[in-house]
């Protein structure tokens, strides 16, 4: 059980009673109050299968008002809750630790408005990212966020984790793209910051507090998000490289030579590719190399974009930076190549028990960390590999072993966080802190900043009912 593995004590919250269940059933009806143990199983365990809670009730509100009534009641009764979107989070934030009531946004999936002039969609927080992107594509727009979990994750989950993904390099972070947020506080109070304007400097930018706070300050119910025009032409190059130094030089060249059409720059090492080929039977489009890169361009003029990409590739090949590669323009081939990158996380789960790290590092240190960890862990493991969003300095370092071993975890942590702090990196680039990393947050945040975070939490959620045991450290 999670509580045993992580040695944590339950907070001073009430335990759910029959009367509480009756209250929720009166509000939502039988079908939207789930208390069947088998049905709850999938909501109590995280995507990685590493963290498990023991909630006995899951609620499925459809409206902001229902969320407000639920939270006001839970606050009064001191019942802890865990907001849940698509449950694809990777830091144990989306599942209860003990018996917190799960509030799922699965039925809050209405698109309210698409402003085709400014390019803004306003929707409920439970819209699945891929479905929302398909919806705005009908208006020639796109959601400025894409990630491997797009078929399951909710836009509210994305906002609550400040998800980064595959195109942050081009479209920036959600702190910029999200124009408005509506959220419900622990007290049940609805905070309406749902502006759909690109510019709105009326006082404190409160919506930012809900972006990346992982459900600890409020439950996000609606979002307005800036949608750029959907690109008319997309090209994807899959490249093989011999040294990490060549990877860095190729990235720098890509920024310079592809300029405004560069939309993604991803990095994969050989061990990650081997893992995908072995566990998912997906074949890489080129032969074996120590390193690989995916470089995507998106623009408005196919001829112009292809010409630019070809010049960049010819020069990279000519200079010996890139030794092999292939370019795809047809959607099915691009999809195949992207799935190799997007399904590494899934391949790792099939490899064994996965110890997953999501770290920001200055680029000169980026791959050194993987090499150092490999040496540090020696033969105790099945695999230590690195891939990620190199264009954002974001490394996904993963280690696998046959089964969960506490000794191995102790060998990895806190060494990995100390290493990161030494080079002024961040111990969580885009996945968040959740349950797993909260007691390591001081490696990336000053004590003054942590103290202020705790004060904000006390102000916005005085009873601490919103996603307890997450984000904030014990001490």
Instruction: Please report, as ranges, the residues that interact with ligand FAD according to CB under 6 A.
Output: 47, 82-90, 93-94, 105, 125, 147-149, 153-154, 156-158, 160-161, 163-166, 214-215, 219-220, 345, 430-431, 434, 467, 470
**Residue 160 Cβ vs ligand FAD, minimum distance, rounded to whole Å:** 4
CA 90 – CA 346 distance, rounded (Å): 12
CA 430 – CA 165 distance, rounded (Å): 8
**Residue 368 Cβ vs ligand FAD, minimum distance, rounded to whole Å:** 22
Q: What DSSP state is assigned to residue 296?
A: E
Select 147 or 248, whichever has its Cβ closest to ligand FAD: 147
- Bridge partners, residue 426, by sequence: 360
Contacts with 449 (C-beta within 8 Å, 6 or more apart), sequence order: none
**Cβ-closest position to ligand FAD:** 157
Backbone angles phi, psi at 424, to 5 degrees: 60, 35
**Residue 475 Cβ vs ligand FAD, minimum distance, rounded to whole Å:** 21
Taking each helix axis from N to C end, the angle separating 368-377 and 415-422, rounded to the nearest 10 degrees, works out to 150
**In the block, residue with structure tokens 């989950």:** 157
> Is residue 448 packed enough to be buried (19+ CB in 10 Å), middle (13-18) or exposed (0-12)?
exposed
HSE, side-chain direction, 13 A CA sphere, residue 315: 15
CA 475 – CA 465 distance, rounded (Å): 18
**Residue 117 Cβ vs ligand FAD, minimum distance, rounded to whole Å:** 28
CA 237 – CA 242 distance, rounded (Å): 16
Select 209 or 363, whichever has its Cβ closest to ligand FAD: 209
Q: Cβ atoms within 10 A of the Cβ of 203, count?
A: 6
**Residue 64 Cβ vs ligand FAD, minimum distance, rounded to whole Å:** 11
CA 465 – CA 40 distance, rounded (Å): 20
**In the block, residue with structure tokens 């609805």:** 190
Contacts with 424 (C-beta within 8 Å, 6 or more apart), sequence order: 362
**Residue 378 Cβ vs ligand FAD, minimum distance, rounded to whole Å:** 29
**Residue 344 Cβ vs ligand FAD, minimum distance, rounded to whole Å:** 8
Give the SS3 label for residue 229. Answer: strand
CA 43 – CA 254 distance, rounded (Å): 42
Reported for 197-203, long-range contacts at CB under 8 A and 24+ positions apart, including other chains, are 197/118, 198/118, 198/120, 198/226
């Amino acid at each position: 059980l999670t509580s045993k593995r992580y040695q944590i004590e339950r907070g001073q919250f009430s335990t759910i009673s029959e009367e509480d269940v009756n209250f929720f059933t009166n509000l939502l009806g039988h079908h939207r109050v789930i208390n069947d143990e088998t049905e709850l199983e999938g909501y109590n365990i995280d995507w990685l299968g590493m963290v498990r809670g023991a909630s006995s009730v899951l609620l499925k509100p459809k409206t902001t008002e229902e969320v407000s009534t639920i939270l006001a009641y839970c606050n009064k009764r001191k019942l802890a809750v865990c907001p849940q979107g698509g449950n694809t989070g990777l830091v144990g934030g989306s599942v209860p630790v003990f018996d917190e009531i799960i509030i799922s946004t699965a039925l809050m999936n209405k698109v309210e408005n698409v402003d085709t002039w400014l390019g803004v969609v306003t929707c409920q927080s439970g819209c699945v990212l891929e479905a929302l992107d398909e919806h705005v594509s009908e208006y020639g727009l796109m959601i400025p966020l894409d990630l491997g979990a797009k078929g399951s994750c909710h836009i509210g989950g994305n906002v609550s984790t400040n998800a980064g993904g595959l195109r942050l390099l081009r479209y920036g972070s959600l702190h910029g793209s999200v124009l408005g947020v509506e959220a419900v506080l622990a007290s049940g109070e609805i905070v309406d910051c749902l502006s759909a304007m690109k510019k709105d400097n009326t006082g404190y930018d409160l919506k930012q507090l809900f972006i990346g706070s992982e459900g600890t300050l409020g439950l996000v119910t609606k979002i307005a998000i800036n949608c750029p025009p959907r690109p008319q032409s997309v090209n994807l190059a899959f490249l093989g490289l011999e040294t990490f130094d060549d990877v860095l030089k190729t990235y720098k060249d890509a920024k310079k030579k592809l300029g405004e059409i560069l939309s993604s720059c991803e990095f994969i090492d050989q061990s990650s590719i081997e893992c995908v080929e072995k566990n998912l039977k997906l074949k890489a489009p080129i032969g074996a190399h120590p390193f690989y890169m995916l470089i995507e361009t998106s623009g408005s003029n196919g001829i112009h974009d292809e010409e630019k990409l070809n010049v960049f590739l010819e020069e990279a090949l000519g200079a010996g930076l890139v030794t092999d590669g292939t370019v795809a323009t047809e959607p099915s081939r691009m999809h195949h190549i992207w799935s190799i990158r997007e399904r590494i996380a899934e391949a790792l789960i099939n490899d064994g028990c996965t110890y997953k790290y999501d770290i920001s590092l200055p680029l000169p240190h980026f791959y050194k960390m993987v090499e150092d960890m490999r040496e540090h862990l020696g033969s105790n493991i099945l695999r230590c590999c690195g891939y990620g969003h190199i264009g954002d300095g974001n490394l996904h370092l993963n280690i696998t072993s046959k089964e969960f071993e506490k000794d191995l975890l102790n060998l990895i942590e806190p060494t990995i966080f100390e290493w990161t702090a030494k080079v002024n990196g961040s111990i969580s680039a885009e996945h968040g802190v959740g349950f797993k990393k909260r007691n390591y947050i001081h490696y990336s945040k000053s004590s003054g900043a942590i103290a202020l975070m705790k004060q904000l939490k006390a102000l916005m959620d005085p009873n601490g009912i919103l996603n307890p045991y997450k984000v904030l450290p014990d001490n």
